[in-house]
Structure 1
Amino acid sequence: MDDFTQTLGAGPLLLIAAAAIALILVLVIRFKVHAFLTLVVVSLLTAFATGLPPGSIVTEVLVASFGSTLGSVALLIGLGAMLGKLIEHSGGAKVLADRLVEAFGEQRAPFALGIASLALGFPIFFDAGLVVMLPIIFAVARRLGGDNVLLYGIPAAAAFSVMHVFVPPHPGPVAATELYGANLGLVLLVGLLIAFPLWLVSGYVWGLRVGRKHVLPVPAVFGETDDDQPADPPSVGTVVAMLLLPLLLIFLNTGLDFLDGLGVVSDEEDWVAVLSAVGSSPVALLISVLVAAVVLGKRRGQNGSAIEKTLDSALGPVCSVILITGAGGMFGGVLRASGIGGALASTLEDIGLPVIVAAYVIAAILRLAQGSATVALVTAAGLVAPAVEAGEFTALQVVCITLATAAGSVFAGHVNDSGFWLVGRLMGMDVKTTLRTWTVQQGLESVAGFVVAGALFLVAGLF
């Protein structure tokens, strides 16, 4: 694949991408073909249509992109589901849900879950944070009756998304900061300041709207109902400690990365490397599952066989989620390998838009074309960075350009984004509902982020 040269122009490549996305929607929505099979078939057809070398399509594109997606997602989902099952099975999720409702009231429960997710989303990545919070979200939904999962799930998921997109030390804003030469501390400060209003508009308000419009039952990922809760559930403090353990470990890792970027520590030192490994998301969740098995299982009188059955029962419901998410990554990998993103970027580079607008538009179109927010952000920042360097921008204006690029990279995630399938399947949504709820939320978050960054850019230019 290294010697592959795409001979098709941007026009034909864009048409192929649009046709592939349309085919996925028709097969899944109209003909009810399973999403996993649909994504694999369309990925293969798209690879042939774009002229990728036939001998490299299966191993170097399909399997490689499928595997690279699962490498980061499967462990998180599997271990997160185990942790959630232990919390749910012990009665801990119901206990914490009751306390949240008691403290904030039934009407403010979605707001409370969103605020908690904003706080937890500072150190933890989007997918890991969502999986850890889901048992609490589901328990609150059941506790308040009606099993309306989106009313509570969308605000929480949006909170993790906002923090992941706009706030260091998450990889997207950090990468853009480095490429633009922005001040990392200033990016962190501005990102934190805009995170709450962005979530309030695109997450909380939108979540209330779609939650009332699309009433869906809580999926049976961590258990069917609360009817068989144990008589001696763990305390709220114990449950909170189990939830905070992976977050603290992950924060250890992201904090070390942040300090390494500032030059305070070096990742070449052995102790830093060891602590970074312990704080990586899969290892942090693994440690948390083992601790939870002891604290929520063995110390509460369960034997090894009972704990093993509890953990095993967590994996079945998430297998479909894992496979579909991997297949979504496969489709995105085909679009990237075919050169669609590069062709679009080259075309847009010559349009002559203002720098901050060009950065946003390029990132947004790349996001729509190939699915990966990270690829969209890094590619757009790499293209726009020379113009930023040549321009006479203030430090705050460079920060605004950085955040505008990050906003573009999250625009309207759809069927070529593995996160689209992750959120949709974990919350029990079909493709049509996921497009109407999560895709629109991502679009609102992106546009609102760009509007705020653009307004700050104009204000910063006055001083």
Structure 2
Amino acid sequence: MIEPVHSTAVLLLVAVAAVGLLLFMIMKLKIHAFVSLVFVSLVTAVAAGIPVHDAEGGTTIGTAMTTGFAGVLGSVALLVGFGVMLGRLLESTGGAQVLADTLVNRFGEKRAPLALGVAALFFGFPIFFDAGFVIFLPIIFTVARRFGGSLLLYGLPTAAAFGATHAVLVPHPGPVAAVELLGGDLGVTLLLGIPVTVIAWVIGGYFVGLFIGRRINISIPDAVLGEMNELKDADAKAKAPSFGLVLSLLLLPLALISLNTVLSTLISAGTIPADAEWARYLMLVGMTPIALLITVLAALFALSPGRFSLAEAQKLMDGALGPVCGVILITGAGGMFGAILRASGIGGALTSSLSGMGLSLIVQAFLIALALRVAQGSATVAITTTGGLIAADVTAAGLSDLKIAAIVFAIAAGASALSHVNDSGFWLVGRFLNMDVKTTLMTWTATVTTLGLAIFGVACLMWLIV
């Protein structure tokens, strides 16, 4: 981040004006979101005083824009690409419908959204929000097609489940960094984080998602994964993969990513030597993009016999990749906008205006994280930055591990709420669930905000009890 050239008040005005201009261009002028995001990022960078040229090689407008775009695109493009390939293979062979039918039969038709949400909570434990949500898309679409009603009835609770696990649960990077910065205990935070996640999701994700889904009707966007396949005849049903095979393919990235997490923890604890090459290679296999690549290859060869040739599989995957190019570009541009807001010092301006208000430490943690979330978009950045900002106060207070865990959850709560146009996840959910910007603000932003408030409520209750 550069040294701010404007006062806190000016930077806050720039942030408000930038978001207002972006919404005006997209919602009123109907300019494409990708073009609007890049243009507003440029205007914001100039207005905030980011230099056009730096002889010492520091941050410039060009480097901030390209680095922000590339940073998000480098991870999201791989996750979305492999995710939709896997989804198309499962959907075209009837695997998604088999999994959906089995889940719904276990939970009952009326509890189909609950079945999807519970499954997402399990899968979201080691998998990042973007990857988990994309993998679940064909299942969401299949269930929505079977039972009808708004796509949001099934999509919002599922997306909220992935959002909750990503923000609250160790081993996701945000909470891990916050625990380390605050001097807490990872094991305690993990054990307490599981009930916090479940309770907050039920209140702020599941019930709110149902409430919104029953009032706003969104149709299923067949084009996202290509023409959707439905098992209508006995022959198609006979060729469909078994529930066990489909579940194994979905569990494979879960297992590989978990392996990465376990080995990383053991190396950090000194149980495994830091220079152990075998462990490093196994961790490479468990990196999320590599784990998804391996899963796509496994699905390709496990599903193809008797169902499609490899040449036909290539056409299936090409058909899945085409429609998501726009989603990937918009998501990258959202990362660019967030990077500009970070580099300009707007996030620091917000936190400095909140930190000296004399509030309780847990309330300060929530508000600072919320301000950073609004300012720059990334939940992980908001959690990590807030942890560093309040670390000295937490250390001075001499808090127990339980109290520190409550503060970590409060930080996660603030970093979960008010997802909007500078958050790459906002564009991912909005575009994949067939929503325009206004509808995404009314639905996804509302859902994650109530989810964040629910997490904060549970954290405050824990703070009072422990």
The offset of 1:438, in angstroms, is 0.9
- Name the % identity: 51
Please give the secondary structure, in 2, of the residue aligned with 1:300. coil
For normalisation by structure 2, the TM-score amounts to: 0.95
In 1, distance between residues paired with 2:65 and 2:152?
32
- Structure 1: which amino acid aligns with 2:388? G
Q: Which stretch of structure 1 is more off in the superposition, 284-293 or 346-355?
A: 346-355
Please give the secondary structure, in 1, of the residue aligned with 2:283. helix
In 2, distance between residues paired with 1:265 and 1:158?
35
Q: Which residue of 1 aligns with 2:331?
A: 325
- Whether 1:290 and 2:297 are equivalent positions in the alignment is yes
2:243 to 201, 224, 236: 236
1:53 to 51, 54, 63: 51
Say if 2:258 and 2:286, in contact at 8 Å, map to a contact too.
yes
In 2, distance between residues paired with 1:375 and 1:238?
37
Say if 1:88 and 1:223, in contact at 8 Å, map to a contact too.
no
Note the residue ranges of structure 2 that are not aligned, 5 or more in a row.
Answer: 54-58
Within-5 A mapping of 1:343-382:
343-382=349-388
The offset of 1:16, in angstroms, is 0.6
The offset of 1:255, in angstroms, is 2.2
- Whether 1:454 and 2:460 are equivalent positions in the alignment is yes
Q: Which residue of 2 aligns with 1:398?
A: 404
Note the residue ranges of structure 1 that are not aligned, 5 or more in a row.
Answer: none
Say if 1:169 and 1:257, in contact at 8 Å, map to a contact too.
no
The offset of 1:259, in angstroms, is 3.0
Q: 1:132-182: CA deviations, max 9, x gaps?
A: 111111111111134x21100111111111111111011111000000000
Q: Which residue of 2 aligns with 1:306?
A: 312
Q: 1:176-230: CA deviations, max 9, x gaps?
A: 0000000111000110121111010111101111111111111122233335777
Please give the secondary structure, in 1, of the residue aligned with 2:247. helix
In 2, distance between residues paired with 1:302 and 1:438?
37
Q: Which residue of 2 aligns with 1:149?
A: 151
Q: 1:383-428: CA deviations, max 9, x gaps?
A: 1111111113222112111211121111211101111111111111
Q: Which residue of 1 aligns with 2:39?
A: 41
In 2, distance between residues paired with 1:225 and 1:311?
13
Say if 1:332 and 1:372, in contact at 8 Å, map to a contact too.
yes
Q: Which residue of 1 aligns with 2:394?
A: 388
In 2, distance between residues paired with 1:414 and 1:267?
40
1:337 to 321, 338, 343: 343
1:416 to 417, 422, 425: 422
Say if 1:97 and 1:143, in contact at 8 Å, map to a contact too.
no
In 1, distance between residues paired with 2:98 and 2:141?
12
Q: Which stretch of structure 1 is more off in the superposition, 301-310 or 421-430?
A: 301-310
In 1, distance between residues paired with 2:219 and 2:289?
29
In 1, distance between residues paired with 2:266 and 2:412?
22
The offset of 1:304, in angstroms, is 2.5
- Whether 1:273 and 2:276 are equivalent positions in the alignment is no
Say if 2:204 and 2:453, in contact at 8 Å, map to a contact too.
no
Say if 2:426 and 2:440, in contact at 8 Å, map to a contact too.
yes
In 1, distance between residues paired with 2:210 and 2:197?
18
Q: Which residue of 2 aligns with 1:192?
A: 194
Within-5 A mapping of 1:65-80:
65-80=68-83
Q: Which stretch of structure 1 is more off in the superposition, 223-232 or 172-181?
A: 223-232
- Whether 1:434 and 2:440 are equivalent positions in the alignment is yes
Q: Which residue of 2 aligns with 1:97?
A: 100
- Structure 1: which amino acid aligns with 2:203? V
Say if 2:182 and 2:404, in contact at 8 Å, map to a contact too.
yes
In 2, distance between residues paired with 1:300 and 1:245?
22
Q: Which residue of 1 aligns with 2:56?
A: none
- Structure 2: which amino acid aligns with 1:39? L
Say if 1:121 and 1:164, in contact at 8 Å, map to a contact too.
yes
In 2, distance between residues paired with 1:123 and 1:326?
23
Please give the secondary structure, in 2, of the residue aligned with 1:428. coil
Q: Which residue of 1 aligns with 2:17?
A: 19
Q: Which stretch of structure 1 is more off in the superposition, 148-157 or 257-266?
A: 257-266
**Change beyond 3 A, Cα 1:152–1:301:** closer
- Whether 1:31 and 2:29 are equivalent positions in the alignment is yes
In 1, distance between residues paired with 2:387 and 2:178?
6
In 2, distance between residues paired with 1:213 and 1:203?
15
2:270 to 247, 263, 270: 263
- Structure 1: which amino acid aligns with 2:88? K
In 1, distance between residues paired with 2:267 and 2:440?
38
The offset of 1:8, in angstroms, is 0.1
- Whether 1:131 and 2:138 are equivalent positions in the alignment is no
For normalisation by structure 1, the TM-score amounts to: 0.95
Q: Which stretch of structure 1 is more off in the superposition, 209-218 or 93-102?
A: 93-102
**Change beyond 3 A, Cα 1:175–1:292:** same
In 2, distance between residues paired with 1:84 and 1:211?
23
Please give the secondary structure, in 2, of the residue aligned with 1:59. helix
Say if 1:86 and 1:293, in contact at 8 Å, map to a contact too.
yes
The offset of 1:296, in angstroms, is 1.2
Indicate the RMSD between aligned Cα atoms, in angstroms: 1.5
- Structure 2: which amino acid aligns with 1:309? K
Poorly superposed stretches of 4+, deviation over 4 Å: 227-230
Q: Which residue of 1 aligns with 2:163?
A: 161
Say if 1:169 and 1:255, in contact at 8 Å, map to a contact too.
no
The offset of 1:452, in angstroms, is 1.1
Q: Which stretch of structure 1 is more off in the superposition, 111-120 or 372-381?
A: 372-381
- Structure 2: which amino acid aligns with 1:399? A
- Structure 1: which amino acid aligns with 2:74? G
- Whether 1:83 and 2:86 are equivalent positions in the alignment is yes
Q: 1:39-58: CA deviations, max 9, x gaps?
A: 01111111111111123645
**Change beyond 3 A, Cα 1:266–1:33:** farther
Please give the secondary structure, in 2, of the residue aligned with 1:116. helix
- Structure 2: which amino acid aligns with 1:433? T
In 2, distance between residues paired with 1:423 and 1:63?
23
- Structure 1: which amino acid aligns with 2:446? V
